[in-house]
């Protein structure tokens, strides 16, 4: 289970990383069912990235894989090609979504959007590390 306290800790760590790299972000945390627990839109973060951050977290939980890895495996000819068109287009296939685990069990995910893929991934990794 992901508590609100867990989500706040993940978001706080992600925010610190976003501030460190100078890129305002949207940061979302979902629980084991893919339900939104918390979301933060940092000052000046793109409003278009709100939905993307939430969907990155959802995707990462729905498939128990980072969106970066899913993206790498969904290119033409690869095993997940076309997956982004499933689930009414909710599936995100670019960096910034990471499953949150307790032991070997995925219990939620963090999703980050608002910068370049490497920035989103770095901020999501910082959030996941705080979990």
Average pLDDT over residues 23-30: 98
Cβ(87)–Cβ(62) below 8 Å: yes
Q: How far is Cα 110 from Cα 77, in angstroms, rounded to an integer?
A: 28
**Taking the domains of the chain in order of start, what are their residue ranges?**
4-130
Query: For 45-103, what is each residue's pLDDT tens digit?
Result: 999 999 999 999 999 999 999 999 999 999 999 989 999 999 999 999 999 999 999 99
Query: Is 4-130 a CATH 3.30.450.150 domain?
Result: yes
Confidence (pTM): 0.96
| C-alpha–C-alpha distance, residues 44 and 24, integer Å | 6
Q: What is the mean pLDDT of the chain?
A: 97
Cα R_g (the chain), whole angstroms: 13
Q: What confidence score (pLDDT) does residue 20 get?
A: 98
pLDDT at 50: 98
């Amino acid at each position: 289970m992901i508590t609100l306290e867990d989500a706040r800790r993940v978001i706080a760590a992600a925010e610190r990383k976003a501030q460190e790299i100078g890129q305002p972000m949207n940061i979302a945390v979902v629980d084991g069912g893919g339900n939104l627990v918390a979301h933060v839109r940092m000052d000046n973060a793109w409003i278009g990235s709100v939905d993307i951050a939430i969907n990155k977290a959802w995707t990462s939980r729905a498939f128990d894989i980072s969106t970066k890895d899913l993206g790498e495996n969904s290119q033409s000819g690869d095993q997940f090609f076309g997956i982004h068109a499933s689930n009414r287009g909710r599936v995100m296939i670019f960096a910034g979504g990471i499953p949150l685990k307790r032991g070997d069990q995925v219990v939620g995910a963090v999703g980050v959007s608002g910068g370049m893929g490497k920035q989103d991934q770095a901020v999501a990794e910082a959030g996941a590390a705080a979990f």
